[in-house]
Amino acid sequence: MACPRPENVGILAVEMYFPTSYVSQEELEVHDGVSKGKYTIGLGQDKLGFCTDCEDVISMSLTVVKSLMEKYGVSPNSIGRLEVGSETVIDKSKSIKTNLMELFEESGNGDVEGVDSTNACYGGTAALFNCINWVESTGWDGRFGLVVAADVAVYAEGPARPTGGAGAVAMLIGPNAPFVMERSYTSSQMSHAYDFYKPVLASEYPVVDGKLSTTCYLKALDLCYRRFCDKYSKKEGQPFSLADIDYVVCHSPYNKLVQKSFARLVYNDYLQSPNLVGEEVAAKLEPFAHLSHDDSLVNRDLEKLAQQVAKPQYDEKVGPTTLLPKVVGNMYCAALYGGLVTLIHNKAESLVGKRLVFFSYGSGLASSMFSFRVRAVESPFSLSAIAEALDITSKLESRIEVTPEKFGKAMHLGETRYGANDYIPTSSIKELRAGTFYLTKVDDKYRRFYSRKPSVESSPAMNGVKIGRIRSEDIRHRLSVFLCARFDVGENGMPAEYPKGGWECGSEGGSYSVPESNGSRWTKEEAELRCRKGDRNGPVIVSGRKQLLSVRVSATGNGDITDSKPPAAHHSHESMCMDKYRLGRTTARWSERVITGIKSRGEMPSTTSAGGMIDRLQMIFVVTRTEEEGTRTKTEPRLSQKPPKPTLAYPVVVVAPHAMWPIAATILTFSQPNVAKHGPSHISELSLL
Reported as a pLDDT band with limits 50, 70 and 90, residue 175 is very high
Residue 221 lies in a domain: yes
Q: Is the peptide bond before 646 cis (omega within 30 degrees of 0)?
A: no
- Would the annotation count 92 as a binding residue? no
Query: What backbone torsions phi and psi does residue 146 show, to the nearest 5 degrees?
Result: -135, 125
**Alpha carbons 155 and 141: distance in angstroms, whole number:** 42
- CA-nearest of 500, 461, 436, 502 to 652 is 461
Asked whether residue 362 falls in the same domain as residue 213, the answer is yes
Name the domain boundary from 357, 376, 401: 401
Task: Give Cα separations from 76 to 70, 313, 440, 599 (angstroms).
Answer: 10, 43, 24, 16
- Predicted local confidence at residue 545, as pLDDT: 23
Q: For residue 406, is it within any domain? A: no
Looking at the predicted structure, is the pLDDT value of residue 569 above 80?
no
> Helix H segments across 480-586?
524-532
Q: Please write the tens of the pLDDT for every residue from 323-334.
A: 999 999 999 999
Structurally, the chain folds into a number of domains equal to: 2
Order of strands, edge to edge, in the sheet holding 21-24?
47-49, 21-24, 400-402
Three-state SS at 451: strand
What's the mean pLDDT when you consider all of the chain?
73
Is residue 11 predicted with pLDDT exceeding 50? yes
| Contact criterion met (CB below 8 Å) for 30 and 134 | no
Angle at which helices 383-390 and 335-347 cross, to 10°? 110
Last residue of a domain, one of 361, 381, 401: 401
Annotated catalytic sites, by residue? 87, 121, 251
**What pLDDT shows up at residue 2?**
60
Establish if 486 belongs to a structural domain. Answer: yes
Does 324 share its domain with 230?
yes
Asked whether residue 416 is domain-assigned, the answer is: no
Q: What is the pLDDT of residue 3?
A: 65
Range of the domain at 529: 456-688
The arithmetic mean of pLDDT across residues 414-436, rounded, is 93
Residues 261 and 337 in one domain: yes
Calculate what percentage of the chain has a pLDDT beyond 70: 65
Does residue 662 carry a pLDDT above 80? no
Question: Which whole number is the average pLDDT over 565-588?
Answer: 27
Same domain, 393 and 462: no
Q: Any alpha helices (H) in 183-254, and if so which ranges? A: 210-236
- Asked, for residue 480, whether it belongs to a domain, the answer is yes
Residue 318: alpha-carbon gap to chain centroid: 24
Q: How confident is the model at residue 457 (pLDDT cuts 50, 70, 90)?
A: very low
CB-CB contact of 343 with 272 (8 Å): no
The answer to whether the CB of 537 falls within 8 A of the CB of 580 is: yes
CB 52 within 8 A of CB 410: yes
The predicted structure's pLDDT at residue 143: 95
454 Cβ contact list (under 8 Å, min separation 6): 434, 435, 462, 548, 549, 655, 662, 663, 664, 665
Domain-located, residue 438: no
Q: CA distances (Å), 147 to each of 299, 384, 396, 404, in order?
A: 38, 21, 23, 34
Does position 577 have pLDDT exceeding 50, yes or no?
Answer: no
How confident is the model at residue 344, as a pLDDT? 97
Q: Is 527 in the same domain as 663?
A: yes
pLDDT at 517 over 90: no
pLDDT at 17: 98
* Residue 357 and residue 480 in one domain: no
Q: Judge if the upstream peptide bond of residue 380 is cis by omega within 30 degrees of 0.
A: yes
Q: How confident is the model at residue 497 (pLDDT cuts 50, 70, 90)?
A: very low
> Is there a cis peptide before residue 343, judged by omega within 30 degrees of 0?
no
For residue 349, name the pLDDT band (cuts at 50, 70, 90).
confident
Q: Which helix (H) or strand (E) holds 12?
A: strand 10-17
- Is residue 426 included in any domain, yes or no? no
| Pairwise pLDDT comparison (617 vs 374), residue with the higher score | 374
Helix, strand, coil percent values for the chain (each to nearest 5): 35, 20, 45
Are 368 and 502 in the same domain? no
Asked whether 610 and 508 are in contact (CB, 8 A), the reply is no
Q: Is 80 exceeded by the pLDDT of residue 556?
A: no
393 and 467: one domain?
Answer: no
Stretch (H or E) spanning 384: helix 383-390
Is 47 annotated as a binding-site member?
no
User: What is the pLDDT confidence band of residue 129, given thresholds at 50, 70 and 90?
Assistant: very high
pLDDT at 19 over 70: yes
Q: 477 and 369 in one domain?
A: no
Choosing from 370, 385, 401, the residue where a domain stops is 401
Q: Is 256 annotated as a binding residue?
A: yes
Q: Is residue 2 part of a domain?
A: no
| CATH number of the CATH domain containing 38 | 3.40.47.10
Helix/strand/coil (H/E/C) assignment for every residue in 463-477? CCCCCCCCCHHHCCC
| 686 phi and psi angles, rounded to 5 deg | -125, 120
397 and 479: one domain?
A: no
**Most confidently predicted of 488-492, 508-512, 562-566:** 508-512
* Amino acid symbol at 358: F
